[in-house]
Amino acid sequence: MKILSGFKMALYGLWSNRTRVFASMIGVIIGMFAVIVLSAIAIGVKDSLMKQMGNLGAEQILVMPGRALDTANGQKDLLSGLTSIPSTLTIEDAKAVEKVPNVNYVMPELETINWVQYEDKKVQSALIGTSHQYTRMQHSKLEEGRFFTEEEQDAKAKVIVLGNNIHNALLGKQDIPEETNNTDSADSQQSLWKKLLNLLTGDSVAAEEPSLVGKTITIQDTPYKVIGVLAPNAALGTSTDNNVMIPIETALETTSMKNLTKMTVEASSMDVVDEVDAAVFSAIKENHSEIDFSVVKQDQMLGALGKVTSILQLMLVGITVIALLISGTGIMNVMVMSVRERTREIGIRKALGATTFEIMIQFFFETLLLCFIGGVIGIGLGYAFIEVWNNNIELFALVLPVWAVKLALYTTLACGCLFGIYPALKAARMNPSKALRFE
Amino acid sequence: MIEFRNVKKHYRSGNLDVEILRGVNLHVKKGEYIAIMGKSGSGKSTILNLLGALDSFNTGEYILAGRSVHKMRANRRTALRNNEIGFVFQQFHLIPNLSVYQNVRLPLTYSRKRLGRKKARVHNLLDEVGLLHKKRAKPAQLSGGEKQRVAIARALVNEPSILLADEPTGSLDEATTQSILSLFDRLHESGVTIVMITHDIEVANRAERIVHLQNGVLL
C-alpha cells in the first residue's frame, strides 16, 4: 500500500465515523477560530492606533502632562512614565513655545466633560478648547458648516463645532447619554422604527431633520452658535464624534479649565524636529519648577505603541499554544479511544496483509486530517466573523494578515503530527492474533 | 507445502505457565484438504494462528513452501499472509463500516501482487459467491451465510495457495453450512490447499484427512 492509499483509508475512516470526528474537531475549530479572530483584533487595533499616531505628522511634536522617564537605551518610556498626574501645562507654556525658533505653529488643547443642551435635549460630551488650526493639524473633515477662524478665536467668540454623534443626538437621531426623560421606551422605539423605515425606504433621517448649523446651543447656561459639524470619525480611542469644539480663548474664559490637556507643536520642517524638540523642552522647563511634562516626537509614540502591540501579539502566541495544546490533547484522547474501539479492525487489516507502517500511516493521517479539516473550518469561520465585523462595525477594522492564516495552518498541522504519533504507534504495534480476539 | 516440526507454544497467565502445544508435527501436501479437530480450548485456533503467521511459537520450525516462516521478520510474515494465505474466521471478521465490495477488495489494497484489473476480480469473486447484487451493502445488512461468503471471497481475492478456515460453519445453519462446504469443495478441486479447524465431525468428513489435537499434540 502506498502512502496515498493510507491517505485514502484515513479519509474513509474519518468519513465513516463523521459524527464522532466532528465532535472531536470542535476543539480545533474553536481554537483556530480564536487564533484567527484574536490575530485580526490585535493587528486591527495596532493598525488603527498606528494610523491615528501617523496622523500626527513627522514634523509634529506632542507636549503632554506627566514625565516620561528615559529608558536604558535613551528612549522615552511612554508606557510607564505618563501617569495620571494633573496637568500643569498652561496657555503661557504654549505662548513660550510659539517663540521657539523653527516652530511653525502651536495648537493647545484643553478638555472637560460637560452637558450640551439644545431645546429640551441635553447630552453629555467632551468639551474641547482648541485652536482654529485643529482641522488642518488633525486631518479632520467637516460634514457641514465651517471651523472657527483665528479672529473668532482671538475675539473669544461663543461659537462651537459639534462632533457627529453629538449633533445627531441633539437632533434626536442617535441615542447617547441624555439627562432628559426621553430615553423612555416610546421615544427610543420611535427612533428604532424610524431607522428601520429609513433602511427599508432608503431615505436618511438627515434629509428630514434640519441641521443645527446656525442654531444656538447652551453649555452651563452659556449660549454658543453652532457653526459646523465634524464628519463621522469612528476610531479606536480618539474619535471626535462625541466631542464639541470651542476656541481655546473662549474655553479659558467660560470654563473652569486653566490647564492644557496637551499641545501639538509643528516644526517648520522634518530636518529641524530634533532641534525643536529640545528647544520646546527648554522653553517649557523655564516656566516649571520641576519636569512634570513630556515632549514626544512621532517616532517615540510609534515606538511605544509598537511595544504595546508586541505584548499583545506575544499574548496571542500564548493563547494559540494553549488552545492548540488543549484541542490537540482532546484529539489524541479521541484517537486513542478510536484505536481501542477499532482493535479488531486493526487485527483484521493486519491479518489481511497490512504492515505496521501501513497501519501507522492510516491512523497518523486520520489525526492529521482531523486537525487540518478542523483548522480549515476554524479559519473559515474566523474569516467569516471578520467579514461580518468589518461590514457592520465601524469602531476599528479587523485585519487578517496572511501570516496569521499560515501560522494557524502550520500549527494545526504540527498539532496533528504531534498528537497523531502516539495513537498511530499504539495501533501499529498491536499483535494481530490478540487484536482479532479483542472483545 | 506446510510443515510444522516439533512446534511448542506456551504463555503465561498470572503466575502460571500454560502449555498449549507440546510439540506439534504436521505435514500438509500442496492441494491437500485437511481438517483439524479437537475439544474447545485444546489449541486448535492457536495452531491456525501459527499457520497463518499471525502469532509466533516458542520452539520448533515452520516451513511453508520451502521458506522458514519462524525465521522471518514481521514485515516478511505480513507479506506472506497477504500473498499466500487466505483466512476464513468463525466470526467472519468483516469491517463493519466498509461495504461488501470494499471488504473483499481490502487484501488487494495491501498487496504487492500484480493481479490485473482489481475491480473486475472483486466482481467475479462476488459473482461466484452469489453476492454481486449486494456489493454496496454493509455487513450489518447481511445474513450469517452471506457474511461468510463475503469472507470467503475476501480470502480468495489475492489468489492464495492456502486457505485457513477457523470453524467456518460454526455460526451457520445446516443449509448455509452445506453451501459453504460445497464452495470449499470447489476450491479444493481448483488446487487450493485447505486447513480447516472444526469440532463438527460431519464438517470434518468433507476433508481428505482429519487430524486430532489432544493434550497439545496432533494425533
Which of B109, B154, B158 is closest, CB to CB, to A5?
A: B109
Whether residue B112 is predicted with pLDDT greater than 80 in this model: the reply is no
* End residue of a domain, out of A291, A313, A337: A291
Residue given cell 511448542 in the structure block:
B8
- pLDDT tens-place string over residues A186-239: 444 445 555 555 555 555 444 455 788 999 999 988 899 999 998 887 655 567
* The predicted structure's pLDDT at residue A54: 60
Whether residue B196 is predicted with pLDDT greater than 80 in this model: the reply is yes
Superfamily of B2-218 according to CATH: P-loop containing nucleotide triphosphate hydrolases (3.40.50.300)
Q: Are A332 and A417 in contact (CB under 8 A)?
A: no
User: Does the beta-carbon distance from A353 to B75 stay under 8 Å?
Assistant: no
Please check whether residue A433 touches B, CB under 8 A.
yes
* The predicted structure's pLDDT at residue A180: 47
* The predicted structure's pLDDT at residue A182: 46
Q: Which helix (H) or strand (E) holds A27?
A: helix A18-55
Same domain, A157 and A279: yes
Whether residue B91 is predicted with pLDDT greater than 70 in this model: the reply is yes
Q: Pseudo-torsion of CA A211, A212, A214, A217, nearest 10°?
A: 170
Residues (pLDDT < 70) of chain A are: 1-2, 50-57, 69-85, 174-209, 234-238
Distance CA A134, CA A111 (A): 14
Whether residue B135 is predicted with pLDDT greater than 70 in this model: the reply is yes
Same domain, A424 and A333: yes
Closest CA–CA distance from residue A415 to any residue of chain B (Å) = 27
Hey, where are the domains in chain B? 2-218
In a domain, A332, yes or no: yes
* The predicted structure's pLDDT at residue A340: 86
* End residue of a domain, out of A291, A315, A350: A291
* End residue of a domain, out of A263, A291, A319: A291
* The predicted structure's pLDDT at residue A187: 47
- pLDDT tens-place string over residues A330-358: 888 888 888 888 888 999 999 998 888 88
From the CB of residue B86, how many other CB atoms can be counted at a distance below 10 Å? 27
Boundaries of domain holding A410: 3-52+305-437
Closest CA–CA distance from residue B133 to any residue of chain A (Å) = 22
Number of domains in chain A: 2
* The predicted structure's pLDDT at residue A335: 83
Please check whether residue A431 touches B, CB under 8 A.
yes
Please check whether residue A348 touches B, CB under 8 A.
yes
Q: Are A296 and A64 in contact (CB under 8 A)?
A: yes
Angle between helical axes of A298-341 and A343-351 (0-180°, round to 10)? 70
Q: DSSP 3-state assignment of A357?
A: helix
Disruptive mutation site among A11, A17, A352 for chain B (greatest number of B CBs within 10 Å): A352
- From chain A, the residues in CB contact with B49 under 8 A are 433
CA B62 from centroid of its chain's CA atoms: 16
- From chain A, the residues in CB contact with B52 under 8 A are 351
Distance CA A99, CA A70 (A): 27
Same domain, A285 and A356: no
Report the mean per-residue pLDDT for chain B: 88
Closest CA–CA distance from residue B111 to any residue of chain A (Å) = 7
Distance between terminal CA atoms of chain B?
19
In a domain, A147, yes or no: yes
CA-closest candidate to residue A108, choices A303, A293, A302:
A293
